[in-house]
Amino acid sequence: MGVQSSSDHTVERSIGREIRSCRKKIGLTIAELAHQASLSTGMLSKIENGNTSPSLATLQSLSKALNIPITAFFRKFEEERDASFVKAGQGLVIDRRGTRTGHQYRLLGHSLGKSISVEPYLITLNEESEVFPLFQHPGMEYIYMLEGEMVYTHGDKSYSLSPGDSLLFDADATHGPEELIDLPIKFLSIMISHRTSKEG
């Protein structure tokens, strides 16, 4: 059963769990918190179980009674919905500068609405090439070799990468494949950077 099919009250359930968690942290019973927030015990019980959608006024009363900002009730929901699922063999094929026949960049997901941008790629190199483009971009990059063998350059250093090898580096320095030794080559490349305001 997929998450979507049972998610009619996802926000309510998430808010309810957060309210219950905050209440228990400070050692209040449902009756005590309901009294402090001027709610009936039955109503608070329904809210905590995700069976009703609380009004903003109710959430404001609860936030005052619990002494937490109203946004805290939504925090877990925001975290829970940040998921990007890609089935095996799927993912968006991206044209990057220097992409050519036999070089495939498949985007496996992306971060949603956060200040950090995370882009995982499955990169497959099937053909020898005389010249490789060198990349340079903000943030960090992590490479994990799955198949084949290559020499990868970063700044003024070169690394021989085989299956199971990994490389984490500052992407501000020039980097890219220097020599393809054993084709086909397949590796994960995860790019992490701060999202700029214009990217949304």
Name the residue ranges covered by the structural domains of the chain: 4-80, 92-199
Distance, in Å, from the CA atom of 7 to the CA atom of 137, rounded to the nearest integer, reads 38
Helix (H, G, I), strand (E, B) or coil at 154: strand
Choose among 172, 89, 180, 91: nearest CA to 132: 180
Residue 95 binned pLDDT confidence (cut-offs 50, 70, 90): low
Choose among 153, 111, 123: nearest CA to 136: 153
Q: Mean pLDDT across the chain, nearest whole number? A: 83
- Res 2: pLDDT: 37
Residue 3 binned pLDDT confidence (cut-offs 50, 70, 90): very low
Same fold, 4-80 and 92-199: no
Determine the average pLDDT of the residues in 9-30.
89
The CATH architecture to which 4-80 belongs is Orthogonal Bundle (1.10)
Residue 5 binned pLDDT confidence (cut-offs 50, 70, 90): very low
The residue whose two tokens read 């968690």 is 21
- Res 85: pLDDT: 75
DSSP designation for 91: S
CATH topology of domain 92-199: Jelly Rolls (2.60.120)
pLDDT exceeds cutoff 80 at 177: yes
Tell me the backbone φ, ψ of residue 49, rounded to 5 degrees: -85, 0
Question: Do the beta carbons of residue 99 and residue 127 sit within 8 Å?
Answer: no
- Res 140: pLDDT: 95
Over residues 44-90, the pLDDT tens digits come to 999 999 998 888 889 999 999 999 888 888 777 666 556 777 788 87
The residues pairing with 123 across neighbouring beta strands, listed in sequence order, are 105, 187
Determine the average pLDDT of the residues in 188-196.
86
Prior bond of 138 cis (ω within 30°)? no
pLDDT exceeds cutoff 50 at 6: no
- Res 130: pLDDT: 58
Per-residue burial over 54-83, b = 16 or more CB atoms within 10 Å of its CB, e = otherwise: beeebbebbbebbebeeebbeeebeeeeee
Distance, in Å, from the CA atom of 98 to the CA atom of 131, rounded to the nearest integer, reads 9
Distance, in Å, from the CA atom of 3 to the CA atom of 109, rounded to the nearest integer, reads 18
Residue 129 binned pLDDT confidence (cut-offs 50, 70, 90): low
Q: What is the pTM of this model?
A: 0.58
Determine the average pLDDT of the residues in 139-155.
96
Helix (H) or strand (E) holding 11: helix 10-25
pLDDT exceeds cutoff 60 at 100: no
Percent of the chain topping pLDDT 90? 50
Residue 97 binned pLDDT confidence (cut-offs 50, 70, 90): low
Percent of the chain topping pLDDT 70? 82
Quickly list H helices, 26-176: 30-36, 41-48, 56-66, 72-80
Distance, in Å, from the CA atom of 183 to the CA atom of 150, rounded to the nearest integer, reads 9
